[in-house]
Structure 1
Amino acid sequence: MSNTTSLLIELGTEELPVKALPGLAQALFDGVVDALGKRGIAVEHGGAKPLHTPRRLAVLLPSVAVEQPEQASEVLGPYLNIALDADGQPTRALQGFAAKAGVEWTALERTSDAKGERFVHRAVKPGVATRELLPEIVREAVAAMPIPKPMRWGDHDHAFARPLHWLVLLLGNDVVEGELFGIRADRMSRGHRFMHDKPVWIGRPEDYVDALRGAKVLVDPDERRARIVAEVEAAAEQAGGSARIEPGNLAEVNCLVEWPRAVACSFEAGFLAVPPEALVATMEANQKFFPVLGDGGRLSEHFIGVANIAPKDDSEIRKGYERVIRPRFADAQFFFVEDMKQGLASMNDGLKTVTYQAKLGTVADKVARVAALAEAIAPQVGVDPALARRAALLSKADLQSRMVGEFPELQGIAGRYYAMQDPALDDLSHEDRNALANALDEAWQPRYSADDIALSPLGKVLAIAERLDTLAGGFAAGLKPTGNKDPFALRRNALGLARTVIESGFDLDLNRLLADASIRCNSKVLSADLPSASELERSVEVLESLDISSKELMSALESILGEQFDEKFTIGVVNCVTDQVPHLKDFILDRLRGYYADKGVPVQHFNAVAELRPASLYDFDRRIDAIGTFAQLPEAEALAAANKRINNILKKAGDGIPATIDPSLLKEPAEAALAEAVEAVYAETGHALAHGDYVDALAHLARLRPQVDAFFDSVMVNADDIALRNNRLALLRRLSERLGSVAAIEHLSG
């Protein structure tokens, strides 16, 4: 790229919002590059990236064209039959067009299109110098930035993330004249607020990073981050441990300092009796410190603070850091001791006075529902149902603790510590007590999108039961998410449920689990205004589609509802359950769509399995794996296309297709061969399908391709003879049923 120079834009501000800072810097960088490109100004930014500190946003581009290329324009005018009269003289239309273009009509050129010949004005203008366009480019890029909470200052209407105090705008060695928010552009930046509080001369853009480094400002966020890590690790090593550097905490610290300096600190070892998660939460979330871990990864009494200054003696800074953290630690210690005196049972009693949701009752009501679900799920996965029930009944007790009241992020974690020491659980064996305590923590997993699922079988049972009740309760109370609104986090709970079931390998019947949870929630939600008994009939079809007979559901209702079990009330619950369960299942499958997309599963594979709506999510996952293997086979595309064709034929044929094939009507060799192959594959795949060996089943089905191809090449399905036609349709239906036994493979076609 010839005739280029470097470009520097720096916006100097008051301290910018920490969490928004990287995004603001990226938006400014992208906005400037896009605005240059939109104007045809060539840019080669190579490894250029957004630069920022708490007090500045900067764009440094090493190579920018000094002017636009020539700007060619072409404006189409009137067609000749409109532009010229019978004597070939210009009409008013042509004269007006020429006047607007600023030329005589005789200077206009002609062009042709599908409608005929017309006049056209072509012109070439020299490109505008980049320096003339830069002020507008900066204003445009700044206006497009996503400012979370714009701030106004002074006696004007300017609004930005923080007040602007200086503006650097250099193109090559020269200052570009311009202004932003009333601040005129200059070449004078500013150094560190405390260590170099004076203007910093920027001779040319290439000098920018080094000039600020000399003024005690590391404007490159990567360089600043690397120094933080190096200093924190060195300080932790001197303290005899290793630093816990959590990425989110590191990112925030990096946006708080311009010249980082690690300061080694400590606290009283007695505080280590408090759950370490509470201490870590205080250090990281509240104070942005880095904990130091000792032997075995256990929390030590040391931590590292990062100052935005490098004094000769950091003892006063150390004292300040230690002083600010001590009251929070003392509070945590007090809360923990008092909670231990109270005990989990007492905390649980307090849940009876806490409303979970107006229609769904108290948190205690929710806990009771979760406990019943956990008790029902446990024996299906080899977990003691009595232990599952007991754990579930304590799963939200710590919400009434002082510790969780002060540190909400410790829900479940606090419960684990209390359960390990609560005398009320002394009747449990050491193994069961550990399992119960860990499950109270694991029941909340996954806590966020990248989090692991619960580790222990008991924890998995609680996690599944908790999410089943949350989902069923949300739908029963009319809280299904709309748009961006999801106050009960039903989307996250649906994905957490699906992940826990699939990644645990639990072959559970989702339809029945959802029905059970829905019965319990709807029996709480329903009022006295219930439907008549005649409405029971409309539920039967839905029940059958869920593979749940009305007799089974009524039996479940009777055991769940107890004294509430009467015909009118029960019918109301049945109707709600049969309405909600299919929608709940669809909601969960929608979450799985994104889950599998993140794993690289093609949408066609997902749709092929989703169409069959398997009752088990684990079974769904096995089918996804199998269809991925099948799709790699050379026969897959042809069989998918054939099944698509078969389905279209059967759909057009409608009802009346015989249930069985009549061997005597197999007249053509190709149809006889296909019928024989179909029966053979039924025999070969029966055991594999029954035991979920879908890869083996699909491998056998792939061998049908020669017979299927031969059939469609030589056999007329819609024969004039009705008996022959119906027999061939019966053969195709039997073939299609087996081809679609693992997934609707026609989705793999085209």
Structure 2
Amino acid sequence: MSTAAVLVELGTEELPPTSLAALGLAFRDGIVAALKEQGLVIHGDAQWYATPRRLAVVIDAVETQAAATTITLLGPPADRARTNTGDWSPAALGFARKQGIEPAQLQEIDTEKGLRLGLQQEQAGASLRDVLIDAINSSISNLPIAKRMRWGSSRVEFVRPAHWVVALVDEDVVQGEVLGIATGRTTRGHRVHSNHDIELSAPGDYVSTLEAARVVPEVARRRQMILDQVKVEASAIGAHAVIDDDLLDEVTGLVEWPVALTGAFEARFLDVPAEALISSMKEHQKYFHLVDDGGKLLPNFITISNIESKDPIQVIAGNERVIRPRLSDAAFFYEQDRRKTLDSRVDSLEQVVFQKALGTLYDKTLRLTGLARGLAGTLGADPAHCERAARLAKTDLVSEMVLEFADLQGIAGAYYARNDGEPEAVATALQQQYWPRFSGDRLPSEPVATCLALADRLDTLVGIFGIGQPPTGSRDPFALRRASLAVLRILVEKAIDTDLRVCLELARDQYPQGVLGTDSIDPVLDYMLERFRAWFEDEGIPAEHFRAVAALGLTRPLEFQQRVHAVHRFSQLPESAALAAANKRVANILGKLDREHSFASVDPTRFVETEEGALWQSLAQSGDAARQQLAAGAYTEALAELAALRDPVDAFFDRVMVNAEDESLRRNRLNLLHELRQVFMQVADISQLVVSR
């Protein structure tokens, strides 16, 4: 077996930094998959590299020649090989002619459909050098690129214009064309420090050759270099760098030779809300901001340069000049906004459309005030504060600050509310109304904030569903999935035991007559509770445990969650498998009855078999104990009580004929099974469980 090392590099103009790592990984995986599809076995590591100007793959050892394979070509059935006179039939002659052989060379091959004329040939395996270019092109065509572009007069498309392609197998260039460019061994170094052609001699020299040309090709190593340098720079001035992972990843995708530099801005800008300054530095300039030991923003920043300047002071000064106008804008907007109260901005919301069929943000504000007041009692919040927070909730959306820095919505409102002298509970609610913003994000901390966060999402959910525009698999413009999960998280994690249906009905009642469809509650309720399925799967709870509770039609999320966890714990008990099977059997028996069938009370005097009485007695004892636990909301304990029914249930089905010929006896036994099922259905439909032991 012969192997060779492979190097592929695609040189481009600057690639999108936020998707750089994904492109590099996909480029490697695509090439590896294409080679494996040709039967070429990868024996060594397959490394991917990515910088703003290149994607590369180095494979330590690939078989140079795939193993030969034997292929079987099948022709007509053997019984049609000759005519009645013993001559070769036209079908046999045609098949042999097509294969370029004499009919006598054909073989009889046994198949599932009987003997067939055929031919077995050995086919040589693919050559690495012959298929590498195709593998590269295949990988490029399958890269996760949302929008491709063309350049020059070429019809070739890629995410950015390509300038060179390297394709080496050991020390040899594999000739071919990729993205309209002839392959070779020439790469290029850093755009400033080493902007000239560089000959690559072998795949194993790739990393060291690029580093000599001031390019660090490994994404993970560049990321760590940036992280280490930022910490050193921050420590040098006694500060702490706030390192956002997304920003760190983006900056890593912007540089080939990272150099951290510390700059400063005037301390007067610290009078502006810190979030606005951070947004300016992070979103526009890709700077890391610094804080003191108490977490207070400092008038400094760290930038990552892509060059190692001989005069870093000038580079720092340039960055300081660039950031100053942006901070000045933030300061100006902040000063201008504070001249008007939030309350004076409410009428301006009439000019902002929320959704064409649902009206403006002013209309939404009117709905929120009524809904927030209605929810306040359930949450133990001050109704007046809830109503006030709802009235002001969207006013910062028409402020200069938020128009410039969209990510400050809510945050700016909180600052302005405090400036206006609004109650602290109202200011906090304005900031926290959008919490949680993403999976795992913090929840609103105060009752008024919780009330506003729920009201905002419930209004949107009911409204969008009510006009018949629920989210689809590919389209969710109002982020209803995220809104649904946020509502569930708030209700469950803050232990708010309220009926979601009632909350949704209250939200619906805030809309004018005729705006929403006639059935605007059930679809959204079902949709929201269905979000629990993925929630529990993330916790490692099987879908059938969710279904066992969903079958009850519950509408209180906290209770729903508690019951699912109870079912999950019940499934771990040794009795669970037998009881689940028994409940499934009972459900099947009862399900075959006519819909008009009516159940009556069990009559113990009609018991014939000992097992009937034993089950009835155990059902009474365990059922009473379970009901007491249910009254206390102890769902796990209730199911544990019912686990004691395993033996009498098993004995009943072993010894008792349910469908007895005697009608009165049969009806009484069906009533007993119905009672058994109802006892379990108080907690969950455990017939849904699939438990293997």
Normalised by the size of structure 1, how large is the TM-score?
0.90
Match of 2:403 in 1: 405
Select 1:590's aligned residue among 530, 534, 541.
530
Give the 3 Å change call, closer, same or farther, for CA 691–523 of structure 1 in structure 2.
Answer: farther
Q: Distance in 2 between matches of 1:67 and 1:522?
A: 74
CA shift at 1:115, angstroms?
3.1
- Counterpart Cα distance in 2 of 1:108 and 1:359: 74
Cα shift readout 1:333-382 (whole Å, capped 9, x = no counterpart): 11111111111111223223333223322212212222222222222222
> Which string of whole-angstrom CA distances, capped at 9 and with x for unpartnered residues, describes residues 401-435 of structure 1?
11111111111111111122213x2xxxxxxx332
User: Would you say how many aligned residue pairs link Structure 1 and Structure 2?
Assistant: 690
What does residue range 704-743 of structure 1 map to in structure 2 within 5 Å? 704-743=645-684
Corresponding position: 1:371 with 2:312: no
Contact kept? 1:239, 1:264, Cα under 8 Å: no
Contact 1:359 1:524 in 2 (8 A): no
User: Where do residues 219-258 of structure 1 align in structure 2 (5 Å cutoff)?
Assistant: 219-258=217-256
CA distance in 1, matches of 2:141, 2:350: 52
The match for 1:265 is: 263
Is this contact kept in 1: 2:168–2:185, CA < 8 A?
yes
Distance 1:195 1:24 in 2: 25
Aligned position for 2:478: 488
- The 1:286–1:450 alpha-carbon spacing in structure 2 relative to 1, beyond 3 Å, is farther
- The equivalent of 1:7 in structure 2 is 6
Match of 2:308 in 1: 310
Q: What is the CA–CA distance in structure 2 between the aligned matches of 1:161 and 1:14, rounded to whole Å? A: 9
Q: Give secondary structure in 1 for the equivalent of 2:56.
A: strand
Higher helix proportion: 1
- Once the two structures are superposed, the pairs formed by residues 306-705 of structure 1 within 5 Å of their partners are 306-423=304-421, 425=422, 433-521=423-511, 523=513, 525=515, 576=517, 579-654=519-594, 655-705=596-646
CA distances 1:190-215 after superposition (whole Å, capped 9, x unpaired): 10011011112211100000000000
CA distance in structure 2 between the partners assigned to 1:327 and 1:503 by the alignment = 43
CA contact (8 A) 1:359 1:525 kept: yes
Write the mapping of 1:38-437 to structure 2, written as runs, cut at 5 A. Answer: 38-46=37-45, 48-423=46-421, 425=422, 433-437=423-427
Q: Which moved more, 1:669-678 or 1:145-154?
A: 145-154
Q: Which runs of 5+ in 1 are unaligned?
A: 426-432, 527-575
- Output the CA distance in 2 between the equivalents of 1:450 and 1:84: 75
CA change 1:714–1:453 in 2 (3 A) is same
Deviation by residue 1:555-614 (Cα, 9 ceiling, x = unmatched): xxxxxxxxxxxxxxxxxxxxx55x221111111022221122112111011111111121
The separation in 2 between residues aligned to 1:121 and 1:361, in whole angstroms, is 74
TM-score, normalised with respect to structure 2: 0.97
> Post-superposition shift, 1:144?
2.0
- Aligned residue type for 1:682: G
Structure 1: which 4+ aligned runs deviate by more than 6 Å? none
1:183-241: per-residue Cα shift (whole Å, max 9, x none)?
22111111001101111221110000000000000011111111111111111111221
Where 1:250 maps in the other structure, the secondary structure is helix
Q: Structure 1 residues 729 and 83, CA, compared in 2 at 3 Å: closer, same or farther?
A: same
Question: Alpha-carbon deviations, 1:670-702, whole Å to 9, x = none?
Answer: 111111111112221222112210011000001
User: What is the DSSP-based 3-state SS (H/G/I as helix, E as strand, rest coil) of the residue aligned with 2:294?
Assistant: helix
Q: Quick one: distance in 2 between partners of 1:367 and 1:156?
A: 54
How far apart are the structure 1 equivalents of 2:356 and 2:209?
62
Structure 2 residues without counterparts, runs of 5 or longer: none
C-alpha distance in 2 between matches for 1:282 and 1:726: 76
Given that 1:636 and 1:702 are in contact with CA atoms closer than 8 Å, whether structure 2 keeps it comes out as yes
Cα separation, 1, equivalents of 2:569 and 2:154 = 66
Question: Percent identity at matched positions?
Answer: 42
Q: Distance in 2 between matches of 1:363 and 1:116?
A: 75
**Between 364-373 and 702-711, the greater mean CA deviation after superposition:** 364-373
Post-superposition offset of 1:130:
1.0
| Contact 1:178/1:185, CA 8 A, preserved across alignment | yes
Q: Is the 8 A contact 1:509 1:616 kept in 2?
A: yes
Is 2:20 the counterpart of 1:21? yes
Deviation at 1:662, TM superposition (A): 1.3
> Distance between the aligned counterparts of 2:341 and 2:202, measured in 1?
68
Between the aligned partners of 1:582 and 1:415, the Cα distance in structure 2 is 34
Measured on the aligned residues, the alpha-carbon RMSD in Å equals 1.6
Matches of 1:199 and 1:258, distance apart in 2: 16
Partner residue of 1:539? none
Verify the 8 A CA contact 1:472 1:521 in the aligned structure 2: no
Report how far residue 522 of structure 1 moved. 5.3
Q: Any idea what SS the aligned residue of 2:75 has?
A: strand
